[in-house]
Structure 1
Amino acid sequence: MRTPEPPGAARPTSRDVARAAGVSQATVSLVLGDKWRGRVSERTAQSVRDAAQGLGYRPNLAARNLRLGRTRTALLVVPALTNEFFARVYTGAATVAARHDFGVVLYPSPDGVGPARDPFASARAALDGVIASSMAADALTAIRGTDLPLVMLDSDPSDAGAAAHVNLDIADGMRQVAEHLLGLGHRRLVHLASAVPSWTFDVRAAALAEALRDVSVRTVRAPLDVDGARAAAEAALTAPGPRPTALVCDDDILAAGACKAARRLGLRVPEDVSVTGFDDLALATAVEPELTTVRLPAERVGEDGMTALLAVLDGRAPDSGGLPVTLVVRGSSGPPPAP
């Protein structure tokens, strides 16, 4: 363990680190600025890191950022912090950012869901880049067209205005739900769809419709809250004609409302009607029975979003490819009731 410096002692400089590691100050700057790959060896980089740690060296970030013309700050735009998924996205982004001496400013929509207002009047001067959910894309009007790199999360990959995309394999998640319910014997289903316009919900709807093309499926839209979902599910379950045997919900909040509707109508879940969710929030195991749902790696989304932004800022090509999702089968799904 390094001995603390006595009061008034001179702070070690990059020259001290270079001398201790037996390298140039330029090499110290490359290593501590995380720009050494392809320029110096791993052994040299580790030697510099060890020397810096041993001396207790801390770079003058303010001076370095001034030289680079950077604030080392990223903006994360999400629709709401009341949704656990986006809180976990922030955790993942902030974890990666901290390892690179970056800060993450979080901007949620003031209205909870839907478009957010312009985050900053002078975003160009305040930020190095932006990471944004497709559900809050309307907040980016003032940012698009500037030289700020934009990384979009869970969004249309054909959007040429973004420098990088980090997507989940949402379509596969809905296919897994459909295959699960079809395998149980369900042939009359309702898609309880989010009424919030968003690319991610459009993908869910298209994938579900394709997977259920040979059976009866009806779409009912609901706001993204439990009470709105309950009312929509009650209407679907009491509509004229044969009652649906399964409700496929766009997320766990809608699924919680659907379960509530079933109970109010005297129906049992899953004996009378199965319910599935999407996201695998904490809510999924708080309801009874626990929800069958699709688990999304929310923290990984944030981590990959920040990693992609750092790559763009360094002039490197960010990784691409969808993150896998997993169906988690619990007690809210079962075979349909006998005729």
Structure 2
Amino acid sequence: MAHGSTPGGTRPTSRDVAQAAGVSQAAVSLVLGDKWRGRVSEPTARRVREAARELGYRPNLAARNLRLGRTRTVLLVVPALTTEFFAGVYTGAARVAARHGFGVVLYPSPEGIGPARDPFASAQAALDGVLASSMAADALSAIRGDQLPLVMLDSDPDGSLGAATVNLDIADGVRRLSDHLTGLGHRRVLHLAADIPSWTFDVRARELAARLAGVPGATVRTARAPIDIDAARDATLAAITAPGPRPTAVVCDDDKLAAGVYKAARRLGLAIPDDLSVTGLDDLALATALDPELTTVRLDAELFGEHGMRALLAVLDGREPDGGDIPVELVVRASTAPPRDA
């Protein structure tokens, strides 16, 4: 028998799968709709999947979606496509969505700030739900995405439009960075902050200030820059050459900002890490392209996207999403060392 056909040469149906697996059509529907757990045994589910694969069966999604009143499509709203982090978020989200028969439309909010034009005649008619980064939240009102089932990424749990939230444990990452630097003996710290109004960047500033406040003699100054290498260079030059003792370490909100610090240090004739320790946050590919390689906090973007999509699928099913922040990891490389005057 040719793959993808029944003995009569017709396209295989769920009834054919049921007969081949020796189960009911209802069981086939549960298994292929990924709703079998607790209702169908694992061996039976495996048998159904094998029968469907051997027959080349593909469910009629259009008919099924019509029946369920769903489009099987969700929207992922991100600030921009200019960073690999959000590409990773999309990859993780799309992977989980595909396992459940959903497609993901990626929608960048211009320059990371809204409002953005609705890409659909009606988002509510075209979509089942929305997964959105806090930095792109302004786009939601334009597409009326805030009136759809919604999960917010990297967002304040107390102020996310009443939606479920999925967060990386950024606060823990900043605490680890702070402890690493103070453990090396650094007391004069410059915080190169992303000049973007966002909860996630507020967390970075708050945690850094709180952690250093507990260290005798430690001080932190703040300079702001857009997430742009040349802008970060200029902001660092101004901060380091300002009156007063020079900082011995720079904590950056993002790895791209750290690259700007490297350019500023080179212009000033400062060696990293001998004269200036530098840390980033993200662990982009850029972190190991820099010389010396950058100490940073690794944020698993794909895992972040996976958790976000699972949370949205739970909301669509009327279930409570799993709680808890996603762990992060401090990656110590060659850009940090004890200060000369430690």
CA gap 1:8/1:115 in 2 versus in 1, 3 angstroms: farther
Q: Tell me what 2:315 maps to.
A: 312
Specify the SS of the correspondent of 2:137: helix
CA gap 1:32/1:247 in 2 versus in 1, 3 angstroms: same
1:130-141, aligned counterparts within 5 Å?
Answer: 130-141=130-141
Q: Tell me what 2:42 maps to.
A: 42
Contact 1:115 1:135 in 2 (8 A): no
RMSD: 1.9
Specify the SS of the correspondent of 1:141: helix
Contact 1:273 1:337 in 2 (8 A): no
Unaligned 5+ runs, structure 2 = none
Alpha-carbon distance between aligned partners in 2 of 1:219 and 1:118, rounded to the nearest angstrom: 35
Matched residue count: 337
Alpha-carbon distance between aligned partners in 1 of 2:96 and 2:162, rounded to the nearest angstrom: 20
Displacement of 1:317: 1.7
Alpha-carbon distance between aligned partners in 1 of 2:55 and 2:162, rounded to the nearest angstrom: 42
Q: Compute the TM-score of the two structures, normalised by the length of structure 2.
A: 0.94
Q: Tell me what 1:245 maps to.
A: 248
Cα shift readout 1:17-74 (whole Å, capped 9, x = no counterpart): 1222222212211111111222222222222222212222111111111111111111
Match of 2:15, as an amino acid? R
1:7-18, aligned counterparts within 5 Å?
Answer: 9-18=9-18
CA gap 1:102/1:156 in 2 versus in 1, 3 angstroms: same
Displacement of 1:314: 1.6
Q: Compute the TM-score of the two structures, normalised by the length of structure 1.
A: 0.95
Q: Tell me what 1:78 maps to.
A: 78
29-38 vs 240-249, which moves further: 29-38
1:95 matches 2:95: yes
1:156 matches 2:156: yes
Specify the SS of the correspondent of 1:243: coil
1:282 matches 2:285: yes
Contact 1:163 1:312 in 2 (8 A): no
Identity within the alignment, %: 72
1:324-335, aligned counterparts within 5 Å?
Answer: 324-335=327-338
Alpha-carbon distance between aligned partners in 2 of 1:313 and 1:159, rounded to the nearest angstrom: 21
1:20-35, aligned counterparts within 5 Å?
Answer: 20-35=20-35
Contact 2:255 2:282 in 1 (8 A): yes
Alpha-carbon distance between aligned partners in 2 of 1:67 and 1:170, rounded to the nearest angstrom: 42
Contact 2:79 2:113 in 1 (8 A): yes
Q: Tell me what 2:237 maps to.
A: 234
Contact 1:272 1:336 in 2 (8 A): yes
Contact 1:186 1:336 in 2 (8 A): yes
Contact 1:118 1:140 in 2 (8 A): no
Q: Tell me what 1:303 maps to.
A: 306
Displacement of 1:246: 0.6
Displacement of 1:164: 2.1
Q: Tell me what 1:223 maps to.
A: 226
Contact 1:79 1:116 in 2 (8 A): no
Contact 1:73 1:127 in 2 (8 A): yes
